[in-house]
Chain A
Amino acid sequence: MRTRIGMAVLALALVAGCGTQPPPPPVTVAPVEVTPAGVKDVTAGATQGVDDCNQEASLRPGPLPAPGAMPAGSTMAAIAERGRLIVGVDQNQYLFGYRNPFTGQLEGFDIDIARQLARAIFGDPDRIQFRVVAGSEREAVLQSGDVDVVVRTYSINCERKSKVAFSTVYFYADQKILVRRDSEIRSAADLSGKRACAVSGTTSAAKLYGLDPRPTVLGAPTWTDCLVMLQQGQIDAIGTDGVVLAGLAAQDPNVVVVGPNISVEPYGVGIKQENVDLVRFVNGVLEGMRDNGTWEALYNAHLRSFGPSPGPPPARYRD
Chain B
Amino acid sequence: MEQGTSRTLDRRASAAWLRRFARTTPGVVAVIAIIVSAICVIAGLVCGGQLDGRIAKHREVLDQSEPLAYSAQNLYAALSAADAAAASAFLSGDESGPVRVQYQRALADAAAALADVTAGATEAGTRAAAAELSAQLMAYTGLVEAARSNSRQGFPVGSAYLREASSLMQTTTLPGAEKIFTRDLAAVDEDQRAVGSLPLVGLALLAVALAAIAVGSVLVYRRTNRQFNIGLVVAAGLVVVVGIWMVVATQLAAGAIDESRTEGTAKFAQLAKARILAQQARTDETLLLITRGDITASEKSFNERIAQMNDLLNSASSEASNPVGDWTASHRKQVDVYLGGDYSAAVDQAIGGDPNASAAHFAAVESGLRGEIEDTRATLRDGVSSAGTWLTFAPTGALVLMVLAAVAAVVGLWPRLKEFL
Contact = CB atoms under 8 A, between A and B. Distances in A.
Given A92-B156, A251-B156, A228 B293 contact: no
B343 interface: yes
Contact of A29 (B128, B154, B165, B343): B128
A135 B294 CA distance: 8
Given A29-B135, A32-B139, A131-B341, A101 B157 contact: no
B135 A32 contact: yes
Nearest to B147: A228
Contacts of B294: 134-137, 221
A27 B131 contact: yes
Contact-residue bracket for chain B? 35 or more
Contacts of A222: 160, 291, 293
A248 B157 contact: yes
Contacts of B160: 36, 222, 224-225, 227-228
A34 B292 CA distance: 22
A206 to B, nearest CB: 19
A37 B343 contact: no
A37 B163 CA distance: 7
A32 B343 contact: no
Nearest to B166: A37
B221 interface: no
Nearest to A94: B156
A98 interface: yes
B321 interface: no
A29 B139 CA distance: 13
A27 B127 contact: yes
Given A99-B292, A224-B157, A252-B157, A104 B344 contact: yes
B9 interface: no
Interface string B274-307: 0000000000000000011111100000000000
Contacts of B131: 27-29
Given A29-B128, A136-B294, A227-B157, A37 B341 contact: no
Interface in A82-126: 89, 91-92, 94, 98-102, 104, 106
A236 B163 CA distance: 21
A92 B164 contact: no
Interface string B7-36: 000000000000000000000000000000
Contact of A31 (B135, B166, B296, B343): B135
Contacts of A131: 339-341
A34 to B, nearest CB: 5
A129 interface: yes
Interface string A130-173: 11101111000000000000000000000000000000000000
A222 B294 CA distance: 10
A29 B167 CA distance: 20
B156 to A, nearest CB: 5
Nearest to B287: A37
A132 B343 CA distance: 9
A251 B150 contact: yes
A135 B344 CA distance: 22
A193 interface: no
A224 B153 CA distance: 15
A251 B341 contact: no
A222 to B, nearest CB: 6
A250 B406 CA distance: 93
Given A27-B127, A251-B156, A34 B132 contact: no
Given A106-B341, A129-B341, A225-B164, 15 more contacts: A27-B124, A29-B128, A29-B131, A34-B168, A37-B166, A91-B292, A101-B151, A104-B344, A129-B340, A131-B340, A134-B293, A227-B160, A228-B160, A248-B157, A252-B157
Q: Top 7 nearest A-B pairs by Cβ distance?
A: A134-B294, A37-B167, A130-B341, A224-B160, A251-B155, A32-B139, A224-B157
